[in-house]
Structure 1
């Protein structure tokens, strides 16, 4: 890996498309790309996570934001994506660099092999001085099989490439302790623990799929990957460099402690829950307080989901607290049969020889005390528009 710093920038739909006309905001796009050129000249490799494709295609499918079917949104994404990427490419050329497009799905991020393939592609683009522009592939994803917001997706990319900085540009200048429209609202310039502000962060824009809540969740993910996050307003003058040099107001979420390993980071940075298990409380306490241990068929009380072998499960104690996430060695149907006969051999139950270990300790990551549990990330329903 080179010694160049790595920066992930996330841009929301409301900054890229006019909310009334649904036309591309070329002035902002041009200012952003000019600023990215400065970052590149300073020795940074940049990944741009860009929403906007659906918004730019809505006029063509004659659909109002918030009133479109899934098929409308898929068609709008197919129309808007080439418009968006063509604008990026033309403006980047004016600043003497090139871009590449990477469209990904939830399965690409949740499957380890595809995750590594995306990482390798980005690394190769960096080697050639080309800036990747990433977005979820809204043309083919369904409500059940999509990430749902580009904030968390961008944070997962930041973890993937071991980014130093993660900047989310939005329509407000950062985080407030309550709705900024309320009297007495206080600006939060430095934030170490995002959990204290989750309840009041559920509003979202008309065009985007995420509000401040998804940004706080994304910041928490990035913090545990060793990446410092910045929340700031997307403005025309130095939209990114003005944040990084401290000349413009923003909320900074510094990295927390020692970064998780690449493997543990992938296990814990879930964008979708494949399934979960509840283990005996004594087992959960042992996972929290002691070294990581195997989870076998005698440890499990119940399960949820229709997961397959190799999916990542969320591990809960009887008290309802999530303690770990780990790679499952069996399918959901097999786990049901194994825990129904806790003292029988796997051969007798499933008809083949295997150890009765549901999650191996090497394939499990306990949740840090400062990492948000899955339940804490579900305060706001996900919606599909980007």
Structure 2
């Protein structure tokens, strides 16, 4: 492994915390940090995305994972995060590794300005040989507003820093075509099309919020960003370098096709739906074939309470998602503009601006390599005149 790489490593709660007494697995943490410290000394840039704060804090709020509600988990995260970071700092100091904590929310990753601010912070940490340790800020996350799992968060981070490798360490040695406890299960060494494996990956781990399904979604997000994903077992001795040096088996998710610009990649990899637009079949065909924008006359209905600069998901009347793009208007302004399509924009909303709801330069047409998101089950707001 002679090339110096940017490597994002994700570890979950099931590796870091003992499921019976909800305490740290120090042997695993020591082996992990030792390995990452050596990789950094060898010239690689390393980012660790780490779960564990909720699991480690549950004892303090007197709850078990199976009966903890959202408020319990928020409180547990507030208790467990200092324990987790203190342990990382103590172990890292043994290997002369400096670490920094970064807590993020879904809003941070979905807002373009915040996204770039986080990226700039990580780049500055790299310049000072400091390894960022990133976790979702579970103490303020809610059921409806959260990254939902650190697998997808790690993919967003890999996209952010244009990583070479995303390594997801888990409790199994990779992906199987069915439950690995099944005697007939076959190990899958390499994946090109993630969508072919979604139906066989629906289980969720006891301590974590994700399972193999979220790892497949993360792998697809990384693929779209030009990042190779490796799913491997989180062993104690050299868990990362042993994979990079191909000393044991793992599942590799390949990069598919050409990688779009950083903005288009950011548009494609979404963690939540801010809002949706429904357009006619003719409009959809024009967007897909001519890569044109979407005007107020093109909109049949919309969903969501979105703001200017949010990413909207564009669907056909049949429910097929065809594109994602940055909106130039809020949901209220979009409704007013669509209902008054013959009136100049300035007269409708009170200021002069671009007329397209989504400009052609800020729209990404989805391809086969992108996993579509189903339209939310909300009431649609009809915006065309009756």
Aligned to 1:117: 117
The answer (yes or no) to whether the contact 1:298–1:343 under 8 Å persists in 2 is no
Instruction: Report deviation, 1:56.
Output: 0.3
Q: 1:154-193 to 2 correspondence within 5 Å?
A: 154-193=154-193
Does residue 81 of the first structure (1) align with residue 70 of the second (2)? no
Distance 2:354 2:76 in 1: 49
State the secondary structure of the residue aligned to 1:33: helix
Does residue 274 of the first structure (1) align with residue 271 of the second (2)? no
Does residue 353 of the first structure (1) align with residue 332 of the second (2)? no
Aligned to 1:324: 323
The answer (yes or no) to whether the contact 2:319–2:374 under 8 Å persists in 1 is no
- How many residue pairs match? The answer is 375
Distance 1:7 1:168 in 2: 11
Distance 1:326 1:252 in 2: 30
Instruction: Report deviation, 1:376.
Output: 10
Post-superposition CA distance 1:153-203 (Å, at most 9, x none): 110000000000000001111111111222421111000100011112110
Q: CA RMSD in A?
A: 1.7
Q: 1:126-275 to 2 correspondence within 5 Å?
A: 126-275=126-275
Aligned to 2:309: 310
Distance 1:376 1:232 in 2: 33
Q: 1:334-353 to 2 correspondence within 5 Å?
A: 334-353=333-352
The answer (yes or no) to whether the contact 2:328–2:354 under 8 Å persists in 1 is no
Larger RCO of the pair (alpha carbons < 8 Å, separation 6+): 1
The answer (yes or no) to whether the contact 1:346–1:354 under 8 Å persists in 2 is yes
**Gaps in structure 1 of 5+ consecutive residues:** 379-386
**Which has the higher mean CA deviation after the structures are superposed, 263-272 or 12-21?**
263-272
Instruction: Report deviation, 1:124.
Output: 0.5
The answer (yes or no) to whether the contact 1:217–1:377 under 8 Å persists in 2 is no
Does residue 296 of the first structure (1) align with residue 307 of the second (2)? no
TM-score (norm 2): 0.94
The answer (yes or no) to whether the contact 2:319–2:375 under 8 Å persists in 1 is no
TM-score (norm 1): 0.94
The answer (yes or no) to whether the contact 1:176–1:187 under 8 Å persists in 2 is yes
Aligned to 2:383: none
Structure 1 segments of 4 or more deviating over 4 A?
A: none
State the secondary structure of the residue aligned to 2:191: coil
The answer (yes or no) to whether the contact 2:346–2:353 under 8 Å persists in 1 is yes
The answer (yes or no) to whether the contact 1:102–1:135 under 8 Å persists in 2 is yes
Distance 2:181 2:289 in 1: 43
Instruction: Report deviation, 1:100.
Output: 0.4
Instruction: Report deviation, 1:73.
Output: 1.1
State the secondary structure of the residue aligned to 1:232: strand
